[in-house]
Structure 1
Amino acid sequence: MPASSSRVVVRGSGSIGQRHARVFRQEGADVSLWPVRDRGPAAADDVDEATGAALLDDTSGPATLRDAFVVVATDTARHVADAIEALDAGAEKVLVEKPVAPTAEDARALYEHPRHLDVWVAAPLRAHEAFRHLRRLVSRLDQGGSAHVWSQSWLPDWRPDRDYRDSYSARPGEGGVLRDLVHEIDYATVLFGAPVLLGAGVAVGGPLEMDAEQAATLLWTSGRAFHVTMRLDYVTRPSSRGVVVRSPDGILEWDVGRAAVRHTTPDGEVTEQLFDHDLDRDIVMGTQARAALTLRPSSAVDERVARGAPATLTEGIASIRLCDEARAAGVPEPAAITDTHSEDGS
């Protein structure tokens, strides 16, 4: 289905819901925005000023779900219920924001739904050109190797106009770095294969006033003979995000902040490619939107990844399950964490 003939309903009008609405409109879709918070009855011609999308209310919203592409961008705790409501109402496909649910068990009802194969889970890092280029390079590493993946930042800088302590990120049942930065787990699984967790360290305390975990360090092995370490935290300035892969066939690096992929051959020859479009979040989410509209979660995996499609429901749940395992097995880290990790992953 081309975007120009698609009807999209975005459930939830927070910052990510508004971005979805804006991006799908840019892709040519007919977009409606259905807020969770009661704003009173919406008139037939009401439009959201920030996105240009038609506004719905709890009276008009349910009837619009049938045959629509529905984006669930509500709080994590209600993702499953909102997705099931859309499927039961006859939505064509559903895209659920990450994480799909607070825990893998919480996602069971959605997975057991007869139409669970019509559900996507947002994974916009897959839509980066740099990531897709990196995947092609990693696929040529026949001898396996090691990888370090990291996403480290300072949570108060995420939304400077809002107290981070009031955000979902700070809630122990919905936020924390494992859920919030689950994109890293997702893309590492695409690159290196299904993970088997070997160990984890989790820090609930730290410099931020919040009850959710502020940092986590994971170690796993994968089916493609890679050993992976991962560092996720809210307590690092300046922010840094990327992956470095070391193998007998050379070194690969993705600097997400620079949109750069560097390849060092075994002989020390270095090439670097920049993917400037990755620095525009709307362009990246537009790639994900087009793929989600035109493909299905049951499409061949190579086509899905090559097109920058979101994760499938099965993949989204698998990432959350690894988060669950890390919290259950995690050794407490020191509370006063001020990580000094360098940008090259060393």
Structure 2
Amino acid sequence: MNRPYSRSENTGLISVIHKTLKKGAPNIIKFSATKRHKTMTNILICGFGSIGQKHAKNLTDMGASLRIWRHRQDQKEAIIDAGYEFEPSLENGLDWADAAIIATATDQHIAPATLAAQKNVPYYMEKPVSLNTNGLQELEQNSRNLPIEIGCQLRHHPSLVALKHQLTHHEYGKVLSFQAWVGQRLDEWRPGSDYRKCYSADTTRGGGALFDLVHEIDLMTWLVGPMDSVYADLRHNSDLDMNAEDLANIILSADNKAAGTVQLDMLSPAYRRGLQIICEKCVYTFDMKEGILWRKIGSDDVQCIAKPDKNFQPADMLKNAVEYFINRVKDPTIAPRCGLEDGIHDLHILLAAKQSNSNKTQEKIRKTL
């Protein structure tokens, strides 16, 4: 899971447009937004909630031919009114498709993904993989040798790609400790919609801070390495009307002995998102809002290591992730950015965290199905 960084991972995602090489000055890498190309790939999108609609718009812009399947057949008119072709049969849709996007609610991921794999159709699955391990072994067995990507698009932020490169090459020693955090009130996530009716407010559908904000946990497994154990405290502290925790405090220990914390919340009155990686010889700090990666050596030596081009938008990460998946469908030799194995490891962390919260104990993280 903690694969060496490869040039193929970066193909078609970001381009270096400027690098300062003045003697005595920090090397600052600025990244431009992805230069996109048109494709006529046939893609079946499974699900048409907020994320499914984003995928539909992005793939239309990329030139893909789309059909939309949704478990709830009563959404046919909404899909047609939005300008897309409604597909009533999942099986027929997969027979037509070159690739599939699994964008259903988390508790409904496994069935369409398994059918896609059985039909040898590559798929991009939204995070997390599932709510439990039911059907996971069959999915994994059927998905072998297929280009699969899990929707952890923060792995496509250019500054975090630069951080991954530096950490992989141990430029400033091994990782000793880490922190990651994200927070914003749930009722501010989707303006114009009732947060109480969305899956994010319902733990039985994959909602709650732990599962819905898994990106930060995934980033730590990508940047630091596979995790060995977890201790978690999950609670509901706000006035939000939801059937799920709105705060998750997590302590993680990695296989390589690094340890750190991840805090996930749906209650913060101001949006916040970032991380810090402590190595033997420096401290890396990243704030999502500004998008800049900083490196601090000693007390006063703070350097800007990487930042996106001025045209870069956070929404580009989702576009980049899906385009990367399409590139892998066309060229299966390209290494996965976040493959099914990574997604399953993330799920095992989530399930161990839930167990830890229930038992009030540190829990080991499963390594196999």
TM-score above 0.5: yes
Matching of residue 126 in structure 1 with residue 155 in structure 2: yes
Query: Which residue identity lines up with residue 348 of structure 2 in the other structure?
Result: R
Query: Which residue identity lines up with residue 247 of structure 1 in the other structure?
Result: C
Matches within 5 A, 1:81-160: 81-88=111-118, 90-105=119-134, 107-113=136-142, 115=144, 117-139=146-168, 140-160=171-191
TM-score (norm 2): 0.78
Match of 1:222 in 2: 254
Match of 1:213 in 2: 245
Match of 1:78 in 2: 108
Match of 2:67 in 1: 32
Give the CA deviation at 1:91: 4.9
Residue pair 2:45, 2:101 contacting (<8 A) in 1 also: yes
The CA distance in 2 between the partners of 1:18 and 1:91, in whole Å, is 25
Give the CA deviation at 1:92: 2.7
The CA distance in 1 between the partners of 2:342 and 2:193, in whole Å, is 31
Match of 2:13 in 1: none
Match of 1:262 in 2: 294
Q: 2:56 aligns with which of 21, 43, 61?
A: 21
Residue pair 1:48, 1:55 contacting (<8 A) in 2 also: yes
Match of 2:26 in 1: none
* Paired positions, count: 318
The CA distance in 2 between the partners of 1:238 and 1:327, in whole Å, is 26
Residue pair 2:230, 2:353 contacting (<8 A) in 1 also: no
Deviates more, 1:274-283 or 1:63-72: 274-283
Query: Which residue identity lines up with residue 355 of structure 2 in the other structure?
Result: A
Distance 1:106 1:234, change over 3 A: farther
Match of 1:161 in 2: 192
The CA distance in 1 between the partners of 2:106 and 2:138, in whole Å, is 15
Residue pair 1:13, 1:36 contacting (<8 A) in 2 also: no
The CA distance in 2 between the partners of 1:198 and 1:10, in whole Å, is 34
What is the SS of the residue equivalent to 2:231? strand
Give the CA deviation at 1:227: 1.3
The CA distance in 2 between the partners of 1:172 and 1:41, in whole Å, is 27
Structure 2 residues without counterparts, runs of 5 or longer? 1-36, 361-369
Residue pair 1:134, 1:254 contacting (<8 A) in 2 also: no
What is the SS of the residue equivalent to 1:19? helix
Residue pair 2:230, 2:352 contacting (<8 A) in 1 also: no
Distance 1:247 1:142, change over 3 A: closer
What is the SS of the residue equivalent to 1:103? coil
Matching of residue 175 in structure 1 with residue 207 in structure 2: yes
What is the SS of the residue equivalent to 2:173? coil
Distance 1:97 1:30, change over 3 A: same
Give the CA deviation at 1:132: 0.2
The percent of aligned pairs where both chains have the same amino acid is 24
Distance 1:161 1:108, change over 3 A: farther
Residue pair 2:46, 2:103 contacting (<8 A) in 1 also: yes
Distance 1:177 1:40, change over 3 A: closer
Distance 1:111 1:233, change over 3 A: same
Distance 1:105 1:35, change over 3 A: closer
Residue pair 2:158, 2:307 contacting (<8 A) in 1 also: no
RMSD value over aligned CA atoms?
2.7
Deviates more, 1:312-321 or 1:274-283: 274-283
Structure 1 residues without counterparts, runs of 5 or longer? 334-346
Query: Which residue identity lines up with residue 103 of structure 2 in the other structure?
Result: A
Give the CA deviation at 1:27: 2.0
Match of 2:22 in 1: none
Query: Which residue identity lines up with residue 188 of structure 2 in the other structure?
Result: D
Query: Which residue identity lines up with residue 164 of structure 1 in the other structure?
Result: Y
Query: Which residue identity lines up with residue 80 of structure 1 in the other structure?
Result: I
